[in-house]
């Protein structure tokens, strides 16, 4: 289920081509232009999603909490309940991995996005408290998860990220790819207003994070193709501009 398919962007486009030489050349040229455009946009990774002092951050958290609590408290389906619990730990996984990778490589993108994941964790925590759901991440240390599948993913991503900076950047792309898939599924199967407010913002954040990591993968001679969302959606995300959300 969590098998990761790492292939080159060039190979993806070339695999769609016919055997005719002129068509192969056309597709290869288009692939090179796409890659160049993505690499030219790499500076988006240096723009933190949360770039505020402690006072501003406190105000932001208060705004998020106030908005969530002002929306109707609606009946939860079993899917919504399990998804809320899962996403709390999945956002923790992202935060913990980026915290570890920043300590190892001291690359700004990891700490910038780690800060954003802290905000995501907080928003889901407010949801859990609103519905009186036990928080699975309340007492666990960094790198420790109650969800066994997430524990396994964390362990494998840390092992991969330890190999090199390039592999660590690929880990970032993997995490955001997975997050987008899970958030898409959650949003397709929930109509609660507070859920939509929280998870649409998380999804927007994950798309921006993917836009940050992917150019850095290419700039460090790495390769990555969609492992969880469709390649079409992946390409649409990484070739589009950074989105501006409410937080």
Q: What is the pTM of this model?
A: 0.80
The neighbour count for residue 207, using CB atoms within 10 Å, is 23
What is the Cα–Cα distance from 40 to 60, expressed in whole angstroms?
Answer: 32
What is the Cα–Cα distance from 183 to 188, expressed in whole angstroms?
Answer: 8
What is the Cα–Cα distance from 150 to 136, expressed in whole angstroms?
Answer: 12
Residue 1's pLDDT is what? 40
Confidence of residue 97 (pLDDT cuts 50, 70, 90): very high
Domains of the chain listed by start with CATH number = 9-238 (1.20.1260.10)
- What Cα–Cα distance (Å) separates residue 141 from each residue in 33, 42, 118, 159, 225? 44, 33, 14, 18, 32
Q: Would you say residue 123 has pLDDT above 80? A: yes
What is the Cα–Cα distance from 96 to 79, expressed in whole angstroms?
Answer: 25
Q: Would you say residue 2 has pLDDT above 50? A: no
What is the Cα–Cα distance from 50 to 163, expressed in whole angstroms?
Answer: 28
- 152-171 per-position pLDDT tens digit: 999 999 999 999 999 999 99
Q: How many residues does the chain have?
A: 247
């Amino acid at each position: 289920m969590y098998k990761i398919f790492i292939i080159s962007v060039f190979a993806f486009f070339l695999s769609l081509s016919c055997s005719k030489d002129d068509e192969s050349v056309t597709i290869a040229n288009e692939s090179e232009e796409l890659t160049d455009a993505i690499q030219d946009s790499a500076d988006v990774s240096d723009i933190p999603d949360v770039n505020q002092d402690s006072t501003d951050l406190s105000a932001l958290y208060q705004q998020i909490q106030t908005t969530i609590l002002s929306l109707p408290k609606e009946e939860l389906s079993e899917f919504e309940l399990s998804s809320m619990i899962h996403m709390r730990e999945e956002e923790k996984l992202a935060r913990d991995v980026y915290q570890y990778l920043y300590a190892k490589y001291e690359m700004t993108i990891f700490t910038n996005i780690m800060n954003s994941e802290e905000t995501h964790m907080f928003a889901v925590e407010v949801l859990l408290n609103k519905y009186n759901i036990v928080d699975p991440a309340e007492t666990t240390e960094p790198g420790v998860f109650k969800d066994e599948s997430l524990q396994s993913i964390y362990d494998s991503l840390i092992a991969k990220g330890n190999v090199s900076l390039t592999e660590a950047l690929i880990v970032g792309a993997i995490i955001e790819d997975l997050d987008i898939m899970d958030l898409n599924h959650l949003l397709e199967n929930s109509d609660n207003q507070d859920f939509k407010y929280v998870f649409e913002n998380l999804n927007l954040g994950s798309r921006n994070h993917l836009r940050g990591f992917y150019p850095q993968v290419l700039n460090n001679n790495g390769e990555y193709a969609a492992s969880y969302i469709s390649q079409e959606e992946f390409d649409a995300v990484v070739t589009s501009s950074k989105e501006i959300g409410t937080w």
